[in-house]
Amino acid sequence: MRYHMGSSFVENRHYRYEQKLACILWKIELKDLTMIPSDVSDSCNEKSVVYLGEPGCTPKAHTRVALYRESIVEVKPIYKKTVDMTRTIRKELKQIREIRHENLIPFMGAVVEPGAIFIVTGYCARGSLRDLLQNDDLRLDPMFASSLVADLLRGMIYLHDSDIISHGNLRSSNCLVDSRWVLQISDFGLHEFKSGQEEPDHQKKELRRMLYRAPELLRSAAPPARGSQKGDVYSFSLVLYEIMTRRFPWDDTLLTHSEIVENIKKGRRLRPTLSYVKGVSDYIIRCIESCWHEEPEVRPDMKLVSVVLKPMQAGLKANIFDNMLAIMEKYACNLEGLIQQRTNELVEEKKKTDALLHRMLPKTVADALKRGDPVEAESFDSVTIYFSDIVGFTELSAESTPLQVITLLNELYTCCDYIISHYDVYKVETIGDAYMVVSGLPIRNGDKHAGEIASMALHLLRRISRFELPHKPGESLKIRIGIHSGHCVAGVVGLKMPRYCLFGDTVNTASRMESSGSPLRIHMSEDAWKLLQKLGGYQAEERGMVEIKGKGEMKTYWLVGEDPLCRQNRIFESNSHFHHSHYGSLCSLSSDRLTETPDLLRRTIGAEFLDVDTINLGGFRFARRELHSRALRACSHQNSQELIYHGAAGRSHRSAPAITLTDVMTNY
């Protein structure tokens, strides 16, 4: 009777077990999954927060994410056409479905349909442990690291005590981190279910797995798919090394991955270099060494490893919820600093972008385009246009290499760009050896545009007459300059590469003034000369009637000089401000004294060294001995009461501030 009852009990339990194996509670219909596009999932989850400022780097790029019963899940494809639901596979599905631990990724189910085989698990928003370790923006302090190690140990101990017995593929990419900064182990179990895959890039992926595999398993002719517990201990040592160093374990060798695996298979005891494990206690290094010992019997089990590494958890709270709050608080502080850093970088990049844009377009036009406002063509009643080109440039180009020509033009235009930065002008463009500048637009300046262009042209001519060819020492350049004043229309042309262009007869006439001029001379029209006469202070020679192509005969003039005193008075009276380049910082003024005499600040004017003892600032000559570095005295024009401040001129009085020479332009 008792035997019959015992036999009946065993049969009944076996029947219930077989019923559970036959149960398909693990099965998920494909139609119940709503796939989320990768770009949406990356932007709406917290992984994007971790990867602030890393363009082009998307963690876990192969991860497929879906919605299942209003929860976000990870969908891992199995590259098989069909799955034969054998008793072994059903047993695997039952085992993994019953696994429930906070440090093991929860198994939600599987999709088994023709042409669609998927494993569905919980989703960890912060990506894999490898993603976090490779993110330099994330500070991994000892408490954070010890929490991750503790989570990993708890998960592996539970796994080793379960029916699954061992992991077999433990590595940092299979250790996931959820939104609460809890580590969860994935990709364990279901070995028979996953066997026989035709995985894309199988050899490359298998090689990555083998780098974490224990030597005895690599050398085995038929290693078990689920690995071994001692093999998991070896894999754990490499993950621990990765956490302590934030380096891939085999980055310290010149061997390729396949060479590393082959060397280990042949019996060589190859391990990562422990010299990279810095700033950690000796017991952690000893634990790593014992866990990756060559002999599996010598390696400790996971429970013993947990005891050895228990001192790491000294700073952790007994309550796991408190630990999570502490880690999230540290992450929040790290994130605040990271956001501030990225904000500062964004501001600096915006400044650089604006500076570059303002070099390409007038500031008012550039600002309008940035705001999205339309920039309509505008008519200007009176502007002055400057044209110049290099005499004999075609022959010079034929005698020089392309690189020499580019070097020449770069040095020449750099010099010209610096000089024109001291005048109220706008550089329109350079085409080959042609240089075009205008004054009086887009901001109107009355009739002063003629004086700005004339003074600038004289300044350029003086400087370029001493300019030597970089590849032909001793040879100098000769340029022709043409100036004309009149009406023109200006506007932005194009969308992809917008250009601020000038149109009208004034442009053509200015170009003809240049082409019909002479080397090292400034040729100007009668209209330009009349404006200069109105301003006063300029000297010219009448050239007479000249045949101008497309215009007929025109009365033209040679501009030969200017009176510095007249220009000085014009600058004082205008009380305008002009942005100067950083090269023009001739003298500095302490900020606390700057407000004492605001009327002293005036237009920036040009500067150049005329000879060994004399410096010329916008037409004013100074004995160089009067410019004393760090001397608390005003720099004066001979014995007059004129001051120079950052290249600006003003009249002094008794409360004049002290001025110091901080940057002398050695090239001009």
Strands 378-390, 479-493: parallel, antiparallel or unpaired by DSSP? antiparallel
What string of DSSP letters covers 81-95? S-----HHHHHHHHH
Q: Cβ contacts of residue 241 below 8 Å, gap of 6+?
A: 249, 272, 277, 288
- Mean pLDDT in order along the chain per 10 residues (668 residues): 54 58 77 77 41 35 78 90 86 88 92 89 90 82 85 95 92 90 91 86 88 93 90 95 91 89 92 86 92 94 93 66 59 68 81 77 78 80 90 84 87 85 84 86 86 89 83 82 90 78 88 88 90 88 83 87 74 49 33 30 34 39 36 35 36 35 30
Residues 6+ apart with CB under 8 A from 473: none
Q: What is the pLDDT of residue 591?
A: 32
Side chain identity at residue 584, one-letter code: G
Q: What does the angle CA 525 – CA 530 – CA 532 come to, to the nearest 5 degrees?
A: 95
Confidence at residue 588, expressed as pLDDT on a 0 to 100 scale: 32
Task: Report the pLDDT value the prediction gives residue 628, as an integer from 0 to 100.
Answer: 33
Q: What whole-number distance in Å separates Cα of residue 429 and Cα of residue 500?
A: 9
- Cα–Cα nearest to 32, from 62, 70, 83, 1: 70
Residue 442, preceding bond cis, omega within 30 degrees? Answer: yes
Helix (H) or strand (E) holding 222, with range, is: none
The two structure tokens encoding residue 388: 């110049």
- Tell me yes or no: is domain 25-316 CATH 3.40.50.300: no
Contact 539, 532 (CB under 8 A): no
| pLDDT for the residue 22 | 59
Judge whether 579 and 563 are in contact, CB under 8 Å: no
Six-digit token string for 10: 């065993």
Give domain 362-562's CATH superfamily. Answer: Nucleotide cyclase, GGDEF domain (3.30.70.1230)
Q: Residues with Cβ < 8 Å from 134, sequence gap 6 or more? A: 246
Structure tokens at 458: 């004289």
Contact 47, 35 (CB under 8 A): no
Q: What is the number of other CB atoms lying within 10 angstroms of the CB of residue 123?
A: 23
Main-chain phi, psi angles of 616, to 5 degrees:
-110, 120
C-alpha gyration radius of the chain: 40
Question: What is the domain partition of the chain in residue ranges?
Answer: 25-316, 362-562, 578-661
Classify each residue of 291-308 as buried b or exposed e, where b means 16 or more C-beta atoms within 10 Å of its C-beta: bbbeebeebbebeebbeb
- Which residue in the block uniquely carries the two structure tokens 């433990």? 170
